[in-house]
Structure 1
């Protein structure tokens, strides 16, 4: 498409030469290029469409990077990137992959942090503001935080610290009435009251914390945002600028279905329809089958708990049928775990549904509240896989995190039958918390003739080499076993199941007629399952080979590149095994 105004913008200073009419046209052009790209590549749709005007206004009024803006989550920073010298990543398909979907200091001096999780911006901004003052520097510091992110404890801690500062700090609350899904929690009643009263209600969370406060009714009106920013620029004390915006503004499908268009896979731009919808059975279907049977047939007193990611597990399906047993605590991973702990102590059997890349924020609660108290909470963990894209969303550290918490059992199912059996076992045991790593490699099925959560399952009994395939990598272990037969090696294939405490009886049995034990895991090798096996065999004659991910934050590599680098293709594993044997 033609972008006559955007073509003139190469840095924020160029905006200062535009008229209001030209900037209004620029907003239209930016929306078009945003939608054109994300409809092809996937990405955060609604969050970015909602902040086009306020981003243009910021870079018109303020002087970045002397004046600094910290974007909470930073998934809404696409317009910011377009205006700060990176527009080719939206205009030219050959450059679509040049920038990440989040702020990245290595890309531009206008970015300050790699951020991909919520509730961080205010705390970061308070630190930046205090550093500015101690070094006698100048410039505004602004934190842009969505209303959904305010439910995270760190956001409230940041507000608490902000109120103690005696210098410039602007906290822009981008209030669109949505988190990833709907907002949940008591503070949203106050935000609603403030919106309905145009900011005049005497019941004001921000003022109660000691902060100055102003309200902007239409954050999608460029003139209103320019006026608001001019009024607070160079303010000499902390102030909250509460801005009402519309998530998905300017694109009807994203407005109609805000949750689905928070982040969306490639879609048809004209209709909003997904281009390549998933088909067939999913592990979510298996999970919901167990939930319904346990609650309605077995009468297990289960509850389902999530921290603002119901879509990952289609949990609203359960919530519609059992609204009194469904709890969305908002973006508050810590609360989700401790809330479940309280329920378990009182006799319920809570199941908490999490993403592995978000659950890390509840580490203390997993250890202190659950581990020490040995309460039977079930935690479903999705997203455990080797993937790239950006360093903030990594699915390889959950095994090291969860499998090393005392009293917590971490299970890795390989099929839908194992997943169901592990859920049912977890709901009946009383020894302590159980986490289950939902496979991310598509639904696999195999008969389950016997099940013991703590015992390894042998799929094929051979000799010389034993291959232990953790969860989603069991199919890889089976492929390697088949290829090794061409080299005269009849390898054993085993499913470890329990990846927190290896089955030592099974490991001991392998000593009789095996020379090499190979572990395959779609997780960081450091602190992972393979290390536990190697440590157990350390003083024996058994040789071992651990294959998995490196301990690092992957960034921009493709998934295929990572699998090759980590030597996790079938032929690479075969070669590594034969080299070790010879």
Structure 2
């Protein structure tokens, strides 16, 4: 196999076009086989096999800089840069990262788990290159979905103004994770259907230059006519108005076409945009047929495409989607908003049931937030469904447009806490810190799926400002569901286990860890109380004051950064009330980024385990020596 001989991009330089085509087929088969075991982003990578091959064939990484937007389409790049033998560890603990990772290889020059950053990064690298007097190529690969992000449009504007030598490859597969929306998407659709512009422009240039003596002058003075031709034939005019030289559309699976166009693009001064049309999931029929499902996939059976799923209670995301339909049937004010994640946020069934009340804004988290505020001010009940890590992108809008104006927006914050294989760029472990200090906002987290449903009812009934529910990327506990949904009084905690030795104040899935720790300590005669701090803001102040009067030792347990989380809020409360006698220990996520792996492994790394919690309580309660190993 050719693939076995490729231990670096230098091995591609001497290959013929037929050999590159053969290698493309081998890479596809390799990915299909490996990801059937590990899972991962299959469809995006199958779509960029030829494109990545030609980039490494023509240019010289790492001298030439390849910047992949988001980075989940970088598996082919990893294979070609010497990491093929690590694919058995893909997205596993201490294994190969599913995104670009600078510590993995000198060929990985930019890390990104969020979209629309590649053009800004490319501009920075082009500026640095020129300031240092160097001459390398800078190539950014961005998808048509990511191009709708406001940051990408800001970068396009700046790049066109500065006129730096830079190549932007628009990987247009008509899909990001979900079907793309918006005017730019429809504009690209027009370009896809019109392949005549580049040929017409080149033919005009050629004919004018063939005229003896005066041809060159005519070519120079014909620019206005060529501009008219651009407008007449539509293709690429938007990008040329931004200051780019536009090439395309080009078939992203035709290696000869790609080589010719990218060679030409590399010789043109100033910014160039190469519009490449690809098929997401190319070469594997299940992925081609349903690129949304196969964007990020769990292990599967190659022959049938059947996904291997664990049987168990529904995930919180599914509970959210089903409950929102139930509530929307009773309340016509409810409108669902998502920034390009209708499937990931559990809203596909809602979209089928209420198509007019489901709004997908594309990759535009900031726009979604401000639009939600306006919807609320007009009497509707917007439910903004967004991953914790993506809500970070709309921080200013949350502060300025939603909370400052006290708009009745419901935040459904998915993927709160550890997220497993997606790793550090997707960990939802900062939202408490960046939300709880904002005035007017209520913030909750459920201990199980039934409490999740009750919190959704609470949020819909709440009309005094913004309210947020954060919930994890895990399955529920399989608890019994209430038939009739009842709201929870705002700011009230509940004691789920009695005890007088110490108290664990926990939120979300950490309640289970607290229960397990309490069982370990019970064997040594210690009775640990457990409190479900389901409202992170406002705190249950009466309960906190009563605990202070009791003088009981407290451990706060949260799957969130220790700085600024629930534990910090409790310490701040006691400080405001001049209570300094309470011993409060916070067990959360330390001041570091936690990389990919299983959620269990991530919790073990930072000590969010029953054994560690029991050990911490042992140190707080030195009255007797206690066993915390879990052995009777």
State the TM bucket, normalised to the shorter chain. Answer: over 0.9
Superposition pairs of residues 292-441 of structure 1, within 5 angstroms: 292-297=325-330, 299-387=331-419, 389=421, 390-441=423-474
Does the CA-based 8 Å contact 1:411-1:453 persist in structure 2? no
Aligned to 2:566: 529
* Equivalent position SS for 1:471: coil
Distance in structure 2 (CA, Å) of the matches to 1:548 and 1:120: 30
- Deviation readout 1:524-554 (Å, 9 max, x if unpaired): 1111001111233354211111111112211
Does the CA-based 8 Å contact 1:456-1:494 persist in structure 2? yes
- Deviation readout 1:185-243 (Å, 9 max, x if unpaired): 11111000000012734263212323221103311111111111111113211011011
Structure 1 residues 478 and 6, CA gap change in structure 2 (3 angstroms): same
* Equivalent position SS for 1:351: strand
Structure 1 residues 420 and 368, CA gap change in structure 2 (3 angstroms): same
Aligned to 2:289: 256
2:112 to 107, 112, 115: 115
Aligned to 2:278: 245
Aligned to 1:48: 45
> Bigger CA drift: 528-537 or 254-263?
528-537
Superposition pairs of residues 266-305 of structure 1, within 5 angstroms: 266-297=299-330, 299-305=331-337
* Equivalent position SS for 1:381: strand
Aligned to 2:540: 503
**1:385: Cα distance to partner?**
2.1
Structure 1 residues 512 and 308, CA gap change in structure 2 (3 angstroms): same
Does the CA-based 8 Å contact 1:464-1:514 persist in structure 2? no
Distance in structure 2 (CA, Å) of the matches to 1:161 and 1:121: 13
Distance in structure 2 (CA, Å) of the matches to 1:86 and 1:442: 33
Does the CA-based 8 Å contact 2:388-2:415 persist in structure 1? yes
* TM norm structure 1: 0.95
Structure 1 residues 560 and 249, CA gap change in structure 2 (3 angstroms): same
Does the CA-based 8 Å contact 1:413-1:439 persist in structure 2? no
Structure 1 residues 455 and 147, CA gap change in structure 2 (3 angstroms): same
* Equivalent position SS for 1:313: coil
Structure 1 residues 278 and 336, CA gap change in structure 2 (3 angstroms): farther
Distance in structure 2 (CA, Å) of the matches to 1:221 and 1:212: 21
**1:33: Cα distance to partner?**
1.0
* Equivalent position SS for 1:459: strand
Aligned to 2:507: 470
- Deviation readout 1:443-501 (Å, 9 max, x if unpaired): 23368898312111122333241111111111222222333322222222211111133
Distance in structure 1 (CA, Å) of the matches to 2:90 and 2:503: 46
* Equivalent position SS for 2:114: coil
Q: 5+ unaligned residues in a row in structure 1: which ranges?
A: none
Structure 1 residues 199 and 428, CA gap change in structure 2 (3 angstroms): farther
Q: 5+ unaligned residues in a row in structure 2: which ranges?
A: 198-232, 623-632
Aligned to 2:213: none
Superposition pairs of residues 535-546 of structure 1, within 5 angstroms: 535-538=572-575, 539-546=579-586
Does the CA-based 8 Å contact 2:554-2:585 persist in structure 1? yes
Aligned to 1:135: 132
2:82 to 81, 85, 110: 85
Aligned to 1:208: 241
**1:373: Cα distance to partner?**
0.8
Does the CA-based 8 Å contact 2:312-2:475 persist in structure 1? no
Distance in structure 2 (CA, Å) of the matches to 1:432 and 1:95: 41
Does the CA-based 8 Å contact 2:385-2:413 persist in structure 1? yes
**1:369: Cα distance to partner?**
1.1
1:148 partnered with 2:185 = no
1:486 partnered with 2:523 = yes
> Bigger CA drift: 224-233 or 537-546?
537-546
Distance in structure 2 (CA, Å) of the matches to 1:415 and 1:545: 24
**1:17: Cα distance to partner?**
0.7
Does the CA-based 8 Å contact 1:72-1:143 persist in structure 2? yes
Distance in structure 2 (CA, Å) of the matches to 1:556 and 1:189: 36
Does the CA-based 8 Å contact 2:68-2:110 persist in structure 1? no
Structure 1 residues 94 and 317, CA gap change in structure 2 (3 angstroms): closer
- Deviation readout 1:52-82 (Å, 9 max, x if unpaired): 0011111111122222111101111111111
Alignment RMSD = 2.1
Structure 1 residues 114 and 152, CA gap change in structure 2 (3 angstroms): same
> Bigger CA drift: 262-271 or 10-19?
10-19
1:218 partnered with 2:251 = yes
Distance in structure 2 (CA, Å) of the matches to 1:470 and 1:78: 37
Distance in structure 2 (CA, Å) of the matches to 1:169 and 1:360: 29
Aligned to 1:75: 72
Does the CA-based 8 Å contact 1:414-1:439 persist in structure 2? no
Does the CA-based 8 Å contact 2:501-2:552 persist in structure 1? yes
Structure 1 residues 150 and 9, CA gap change in structure 2 (3 angstroms): same
* Equivalent position SS for 2:536: coil
Structure 1 residues 195 and 106, CA gap change in structure 2 (3 angstroms): same
> Bigger CA drift: 559-568 or 418-427?
559-568
Does the CA-based 8 Å contact 2:561-2:590 persist in structure 1? yes
